[in-house]
A and B are shown apart, each in its own frame.
Chain A
Amino acid sequence: MTGRYVARRLLLFAPTLLSASILIFVLLRLVPGDIAEILVYQTGSESSAVQEKQIRQLRAELGLDRPVVVQYVAWLGAAFRADFGQSYSQKRPVIEILKERVPRSLELALLTILIAMLWAVPLGVVSAVRQNTWIDYVVRVLSISGLSLPIFFTGVLILYLLVRLFGWLPPLEFVSFTVSPWENLKQLIWPALAQAYYISAPITRLTRSQLLEVIRQDYVRTARAKGLGERAIVYRHALSNSLLPVVTFVGWWGGRLLGGIVIVEIIFSVPGMGSALASAVSQRDYPAVQAMVFVMALVFLTLNLLVDLLYAWLDPRIKYA
């Protein structure tokens, strides 16, 4: 791993994050309706003259009457001190929301990746080793269906089947892992399964195709010629080399998972960052949305950075041209 590559990769991190923050800030303000208008108009009980006065008051109170650039600079300055402002919709510091919700979503994301890896990689290996047999066909059908079914459908299907077949539903009350790991898993395993089914499909397919490519390499043929057993060839030599792109893919997906977690959190009633984000967006809670999307961007970029560094470490041929 060259020092130049690492330095360049690290240097790119800061401007990318800054660009993401500008994008978040601007895009959010392009969405029609601000919180003042929404709060006043959706109630629609007071007279029109009172409504106009209230909108002006609310905008001034929340600092929305200042130019967007001024708002952004103020926000960025405070964000450096981990002060993301006050949530409009919850009337409490956004940092409290992040501290409360981010660990839950990260736990769900980790559990999802763990489950996906546990079944997707072995299935990919079996599918490659038994290429064009009935096992391969079954695995490929499962993979394609995993990719085809949207997460909300799989989630609702899991809920429906649990109630229909067992008259049972995962706990509605969230219990953190530190309080009761078992209760925590009873709730989180189902959304994790719904997501894992979706992301395991590309992992299986990637593992399969990579392994098929590697087992045709010269060094594998040499290993066979030396009389090494098939199991040792696949697991000791071929698999470790074919998993490199899989590592990249999983890292990339890990970042994406935080963004895609909204739907499963709502379906399975998990009070994580996804459900908080959905609620904040619908109420145009700018400080909360900005902070949550910023955290998602930060996690995504950090994971990408780690994957790139890991990749360079695993494969010394990697470097910037």
Chain B
Amino acid sequence: MRALLSICAVAIAAAVVLAAGGAAAQDKPRYGGVLNWFDYGDPGRLDVHAESPLVVQQATAGVYSGVIHYDPDDPSKIAPDLAERWTVSPDGKTYTFHLRKGVTWHDGQPFSAADVKASFDRILHPDFKSPKCGAALKPMVASVEVQDPHTVQFRLKFAAAPFLGNLASSWCRVAAKHVLEKYGDLNAPDAQIGTGPFRFKRYERGNLIEWERNKDYFVRGLPYLDGVRQYILVGGPTQLAAAKAGRVMLWDAWPPMKKTQADELARARTDVDIYQASINTIYLLYMNTQKPPFSNPDLRRAVSLALDRQELVAKALEGAGVPCALLDPKLVGDFALPLEEVQKLPGCRQPKDADLAEAKRLVEKHHPAGLEIEVAVRTVGNYVDRAQLVLAQLRRVGIRGTLKSYESAAGYAVFGKGEFTMIAAQDRSMDTPDPESLFSVVYSTNAGSNYGRWADPKVDDLAERALRESSRDKRKQLYWELQRHILASPTAAVPIAWVEGWFFVDKKVRGYKPALTTYDNNTFMKVWLAE
């Protein structure tokens, strides 16, 4: 018996070793192959400093490098890229980056600190429209100075906690000074000369973008892939058909798949891993505080109390979302108020009886015969379906809404000018994974996406203090206070949920780690294809 047990033990150990050996062989990166994926639209312009659509980022991500970037192995961390290392002055206002030596641009010209200065002087110029990197860095960076050909210094206006996180963004890429001088901007395909793992090979407008391996990439041994091919697939049915037919190996960005699409794909392909993930986007309902009826805080509060976030997530997002949260713990960790606390707050708590009664009382107080409003919505994604659900929920408390739909672009123009009463559904992506992003783009008085024009000095003060706070713990406390304050206030932008969706990766694709924003970690520098 003992002999039999010994044989079994040896056999099991051998099997484990063999399996481990096999896995190790499989996990050893392999060179070659082309990764196929898709862009949801045609970028048209390619200037990563000047544009904001995700497709521009996707089209150019692998071509450029940053001074620093989000670590491809662990996208929650910041890692050196063109900089080998950096130091921070004791007052936290000067960052000195020591750049790699021997780096060359794709056209063979040498890279130096002058390129970093030229890029950031461009991005930070007051008259240059830089909606992502510029918007994130302009408030905090005073100047960029060259110390020597391989050292560059960023001098800040104040000790800004999110500086490194913002600089690591994929929008803050370093372009060549000589390219900027030659082309004036980075829009043309010929101007796509970077130091990144891939060279820009071709752009067939409306159809295809292709990169090829940069054999002179400054990280030895990388990239593994021979190239990356991005098909421009505009329609949802086309994207799903391409996925089902095995023409694309990756679906990770925007728009995510719906549950039904993910199920359809799972039935069609067994060689893919399908997963649910956040897209770092908050689903908001806006009210215009500058005109009746929502200039009245009581009515804004009534709407917030009437909305059943859990029902909206269950029905409109097919259950893929984090309801009620102002910050998503999955994205910003403990900067987010604990969900257990959020779920007990008025507006979010279940059952909703008390909240609905209070909302009804508030509406009746100001409009005894009920309230009639026009509800705006852009006709994109399932926004109209979401709006119908919102209207149904508001009817329970005596608010009767009429839907007014806008074509996508026209909607933005109307919202930006404040020509609406309520926007039933509007998603807003975060530009960086730092919690600051939400407050600077939605909730501060001068925020670019503060469509409802809500102004609260306490919000501005807390957001500003958190921005300048260097102690992580104190910063966390400030953000908690800020979240509690907003969630208890008659805000113009009611947070419904953080949106999630379904994605897939072909099992052959290895080394790919989705980042915390849809914009980052799309360089594929460490991605390889298994046999």
The reply to whether A46 and B131 contact each other, CB–CB distance below 8 Å, is: yes
Assuming A33-B409, A90-B44, A172-B242, is B414 touching A44 (CB within 8 A)? no
Count of A-B residue pairs with CB < 8 Å: 155
Q: How large is the interface on B (under 10, 10 to 19, 20 to 34, 35 or more residues)?
A: 35 or more
9 smallest beta-carbon distances between A and B, as pairs: A33-B413, A41-B416, A271-B206, A44-B449, A43-B131, A169-B245, A45-B135, A271-B207, A47-B446
CB distance from A154 to the nearest CB of B (A): 12
Interface string of B224-238 (1 = CB under 8 A from A): 000000011111011
Contacts A90-B44, A90-B45; A47 near B238 (Cβ below 8 A):
no
**In the complex the two chains form, is B41's CB within 8 Å of A279's CB?**
yes
Query: Which residues of chain B in 110-154 are interfacial with respect to chain A, using CB atoms and an 8 Å cutoff?
Result: 127, 129, 131-132, 134-136
Instruction: Say yes or no for B450: interface residue by CB 8 A criterion.
Output: yes
CB contacts (< 8 Å) of A311 on chain B: these are none
Is there contact, CB below 8 Å, between A47 and B245? Answer: no
| Residue A42 at the chain B interface, CB threshold 8 Å | yes
> Which residue of chain A lies nearest to B426 when distances are taken between CB atoms in the complex?
A44
Q: List the A side residues contacting B449 at CB < 8 Å.
A: 44-45
B interface SS class: loop
Number of interface residues of A (CB under 8 A): 54
Stretch at the interface among A48-56, A130-138, A248-256: A48-56
- The answer to whether B409 touches A44, judged by C-beta atoms less than 8 angstroms apart, is no
Report yes or no: A48 in contact with B450, Cβ–Cβ below 8 A: yes
Contact residues in B for A163 (Cβ distance below 8 Å) = 241, 244-245, 268
Instruction: Let me know if A197 is at the binding interface, CB within 8 A.
Output: no
Q: Is the Cβ of A159 less than 8 Å from the Cβ of B412?
A: no
Q: Is the C-beta of A173 less than 8 angstroms from some C-beta in chain B?
A: yes
Contact yes or no, B410 A33, CB < 8 A: yes
In the bound complex, what is the Cα–Cα distance between A143 and B266 (angstroms)? 36
One of A14-22, A71-79, A262-270, A293-301 at the interface: A262-270
Once bound together, how far apart are the Cα atoms of A279 and B44, in whole Å?
Answer: 9
User: A50-99: which residues lie under 8 A (CB-CB) from chain B?
Assistant: 50-51, 54, 57-58, 87, 89-92, 97
Asked whether A269 lies within 8 Å of B233 as measured between CB atoms, the reply is: yes
Contacting pair B237 A169 (CB below 8 A): no
Residue from the set B129, B242, B428, B450 with the largest chain A CB neighbour count within 10 Å: B129
B408: interface (CB < 8 Å): yes
Bound: A40/B448 CA distance, A: 9
Residue from A40, A41, A100 having most chain B Cβ neighbours under 10 A:
A41
Residues of B within 8 A of A33 (CB): 409-410, 412-414
A38 and B412 contacting across the interface, CB-CB below 8 Å: yes
What is the minimal beta-carbon distance from A75 to any residue of chain B, in angstroms? 21
Known: A47-B448, A48-B448. A32 touches B204 (CB 8 A): no
Q: A51 with B448: in contact, given A43-B131, A163-B241 (CB under 8 Å)? A: yes
